[in-house]
Amino acid sequence: MLRSTLAVVGTDMGNVQLTDRARGGLTIEQHTGLTADFVDFFAHVGDDGTACARAARDVAQVTVRDVESDPVFTEPPGGPSSRRAAEPATASR
């Protein structure tokens, strides 16, 4: 599924996240082409603070054209920077 989706979208990096029923939020289940920082930071995300969390909550595609300035990304106190871990732009569905 991931490979087919990336081919349709025209990119070589992406991930599949599933709902984590035990902890809530989303957990990366499969990925390709992503940096270790990205995978570590987004391995599990809560219900808010990322494009993927917003897409899951709103059941809609979320496109972030500039990760550096978009307010969809928030940082947990003392945590690694989501802005450093993310790519310059992202789309979540």
Chain centre distance of CA 1: 17
Confidence of residue 37 (pLDDT cuts 50, 70, 90): confident
Q: What is the DSSP letter of 80?
A: P
pTM recorded for the entire structure:
0.72
Cβ-count burial of 46 within 10 angstroms (0-12 exposed, 13-18 middle, 19+ buried)? middle
Give the angle 63-17-61 at the CA atoms, nearest 5°: 25
Condensed to tens digits (0 to 9), the pLDDT of residues 40-89 reads 888 998 888 888 888 888 999 888 887 777 788 766 534 455 555 555 56
